[in-house]
Amino acid sequence: MTLLDRYLAAVRDALPSSAPADDIVAELGEDLDERIAARAASLGRPLSDDEIAAMLKAQGHPRVIAARYGGVPFLIGPQTLPFYWATLRAVAVTVVVLELLGGAAGSLVTHDAGAVFAALGSAGQSLVWVFAIVTAVFAASERVADGRGGVERLVGRWDPRRLPMPTADRPISRAASLPSLVVNLFVLVVLIDAGGAQRTPLTRTIVAALREAHVSLTSAWHAAYLGALAATALVAAGALLAFVRPQASRVYELLQALASAATIVGAAVTLRGGPWFTPDAAVLNLAAAATLWVTIAIASVQWLVSLRRLMQRIALRRVVASS
């Protein structure tokens, strides 16, 4: 795959969703092809990769080229805007992840889900500061006295030879990953709380129902609890990864497969460790066994689907790399 192909693929990836990507890339590719051919004809030989890289660098960074088709003026200029969004997203996600990891660690140590809720509140406040600081830095970088901001200098140092190879993988939808992240973080909080302080309304309701029925869970559920905890954390991590980097589809599918495997192992160990309720309640134990079998069956299907998708994406990656 040539440098020009990689350059055009990078431009396509950076174009706004509303832009006619096929027409833009075709027109840009035709123009660059003609310029490369004309330069080669004037030299009487094919251009080297270094010479083509120099021409592509003079053309402009792929994100800068793609930004010209946004069509809307902002406080941050069109040449800087793509880098602004990328930086804002990276810093914001990093701050939120660190806040939530701190809250989760506190919950695990103290067995109190309140630490996670406190971390969520702290993350919300931090996001306001992140937005303000990153916006101020980028806005100021375009207005320095010499007329050549820090971002512009950074763009000037990019090298076409370091552009990534395009992939045939379909990126994971951010619109689908964000709700998944929120839901799984909520489930993770509930699971952490269920193994500790039991302060969330859902946990209190379940505990009250068990007490009213004069039954309690046996230690056999411990494996299923750990499996559910691991699976939920893995799915949440996959959703976060998909939101930050939708192109990382292979890692995403791997995390989904590991989550299904954790569920299968936890449910299988619990199934072998019955009875699951004391005092021995035949109906409840029968329902628990049926639930565990169904869980294993569903998780097995999900594991096979994730594994199949992972193998397909790996195969596609090899095909693209060899072309």
Find the radius of gyration of the CA atoms of the chain.
Answer: 26
Mean pLDDT across the stretch 211-227?
85
**Tens-digit pLDDT profile for residues 4-57:** 888 888 888 888 777 788 888 888 889 888 888 898 898 888 888 888 888 888
Give the pLDDT confidence score for residue 258 in this predicted structure. 94
Q: Kindly tell me if the per-residue pLDDT of 148 is higher than 90.
A: no
Phi, psi at 245, each rounded to 5°:
-135, 85
Q: Where are the alpha helices (DSSP H) in 166-281?
A: 174-194, 201-212, 221-244, 249-272
Whole-number Cα distances in Å, 257 to 186, 272, 295, 301:
21, 23, 15, 10
The total number of residues written for the chain in this structure: 323
Q: Which of 9-13, 45-49, 89-93, 209-213 has the lowest mean pLDDT?
A: 209-213
The pair of three-digit structure tokens given for residue 172, joined into one six-digit string: 């994971």
Tokens matching residue 256: 């989904």
Q: pLDDT class for 169, splitting at 50, 70, 90?
A: low
Q: What is the predicted pLDDT for the residue at 250?
A: 85
The residue with greater pLDDT, 159 or 144, is: 159
Higher per-residue confidence, 85 vs 203: 85
pLDDT score at 239: 87
Alpha carbons 33 and 30: distance in angstroms, whole number: 5
pLDDT at 193 over 70: yes
- The predicted pLDDT at position 262 comes to 94
Q: Where are the domains of the chain?
A: 3-71, 73-158, 174-323
Instruction: Inform me whether the pLDDT recorded for 147 exceeds 50.
Output: no
Question: Cα separation of 172 and 154, whole Å?
Answer: 29
Average pLDDT over residues 263-268: 94
Q: How many angstroms separate the CA atoms of 314 and 316, rounded?
A: 5
- The CA distances from residue 16 to 67, 70, 72, 140, 227, in Å, are 8, 6, 11, 25, 41
Q: Give the Cα-Cα-Cα angle 98, 101, 104 (nearest 5 degrees).
A: 150
The Cβ-side half-sphere exposure at 279, using a 13 Å CA radius, reads: 2
Decide which of 211 and 28 is more confident: 28
Predicted local confidence at residue 313, as pLDDT: 80
pLDDT for 5 equals: 87
Give whole-number Cα distances, 87 to 84, 93, 124, 281, in Å: 5, 10, 18, 57
Is 31 or 189 the better-scoring residue by pLDDT? 31
Longest CA–CA separation in the chain, Å? 91
